[in-house]
């Protein structure tokens, strides 16, 4: 698995720092609010787990599964809800947790949907932002780190469902997805 990685872009140490920083910031910003953290499956899982342990205020957890990818390396722009929330979001302060924002279509669609359903506020925490990939106007409030337009895997991020279990984030060798 390691042989398929061109280089490490975000190390385990850097990921720890990000989780500590964002966890403290979110705990401060949501003090006194009814925080509902919504993870987007499956990519959010390692980040969601580590980040939530750094949030020191009461919070609830829910998951949604959405996809705009069909096993390729570029987004299709057609966002499908594969698993919806089990609870009402009316008057809740929602923080969506996502692995990466690229075109912005997934997060823009889900943010608008949850607002339409009556959430009081909807913000996004993403481990990685690729602002050069944007095709819609969308700015996540909490960003772990910003990277150039590279296809990355690890720490939840996949290529054809593989590499999610790498403990760091690395750039995948082009020969893997060009073969």
Residues tagged active-site: 102
In the complex, what is the shortest distance from the CB of residue 137 to ligand IMP, in angstroms, rounded to a whole number? 12
Q: Which does 26 bind (CB under 5 to 8 A by kind): ligand IMP, Mg ion, none?
A: none
Question: Measured from the CB atom, is 50 or 99 closer to ligand IMP?
Answer: 99
Q: Which does 102 bind (CB under 5 to 8 A by kind): Mg ion, ligand IMP, none?
A: ligand IMP
In the complex, what is the shortest distance from the CB of residue 90 to ligand IMP, in angstroms, rounded to a whole number? 26
Cβ-Cβ contacts under 8 Å for 70 (sequence gap 6 or more)? 76
Question: Measured from the CB atom, is 29 or 62 closer to Mg ion?
Answer: 62
Cβ-Cβ contacts under 8 Å for 80 (sequence gap 6 or more)? 66, 67, 68
In the complex, what is the shortest distance from the CB of residue 70 to Mg ion, in angstroms, rounded to a whole number? 13
In the complex, what is the shortest distance from the CB of residue 106 to Mg ion, in angstroms, rounded to a whole number? 7
Q: In this structure, what is the dihedral angle of CA atoms 23, 168, 104, 114, given to the nearest 10 degrees?
A: -40
Question: Measured from the CB atom, is 93 or 102 closer to ligand IMP?
Answer: 102
Q: Name the residues that contact Mg ion, by CB under 5 A.
A: 43
Q: Which does 75 bind (CB under 5 to 8 A by kind): Mg ion, ligand IMP, none?
A: ligand IMP
Q: Name the residues that contact ligand IMP, by CB under 6 A.
A: 43, 68-69, 75, 98-106, 151-153, 157
The closest alpha carbon to 164, from 173, 172, 154, belongs to 154
Cβ-Cβ contacts under 8 Å for 109 (sequence gap 6 or more)? 66, 79
Q: Which does 151 bind (CB under 5 to 8 A by kind): ligand IMP, Mg ion, none?
A: ligand IMP
The closest alpha carbon to 49, from 124, 109, 13, 99, belongs to 99
Question: Measured from the CB atom, is 5 or 100 closer to ligand IMP?
Answer: 100
Torsions phi, psi for 5 (to 5 deg): -95, 125
Query: Is 151 exposed, middle or buried, given 0-12, 13-18 or 19+ CB atoms closer than 10 A?
Result: middle
């Amino acid at each position: 698995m390691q042989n398929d990685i061109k280089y490490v872009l975000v190390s385990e140490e850097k990921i720890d720092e990000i989780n500590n920083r964002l966890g403290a910031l979110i705990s401060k910003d949501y003090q006194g609010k009814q925080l509902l953290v919504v993870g987007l499956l499956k990519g959010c899982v390692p980040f969601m787990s580590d980040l939530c342990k750094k949030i020191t205020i009461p919070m609830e957890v829910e998951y949604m599964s959405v996809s705009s990818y069909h096993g390729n390396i570029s987004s299709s722009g057609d966002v499908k809800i594969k698993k919806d929330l089990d609870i009402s979001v009316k008057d809740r302060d929602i923080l969506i947790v996502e692995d990466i924002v690229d075109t912005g279509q997934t997060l823009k669609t889900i943010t608008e949907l949850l607002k339409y359903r009556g959430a009081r506020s909807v913000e996004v925490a993403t481990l990685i932002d690729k602002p050069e990939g944007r095709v819609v106007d969308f700015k996540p409030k909490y960003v772990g780190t910003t990277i150039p337009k590279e296809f990355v895997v690890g720490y939840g991020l996949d290529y054809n469902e593989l590499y999610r279990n790498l403990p760091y984030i690395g750039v995948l060798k082009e020969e893997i997805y060009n073969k």
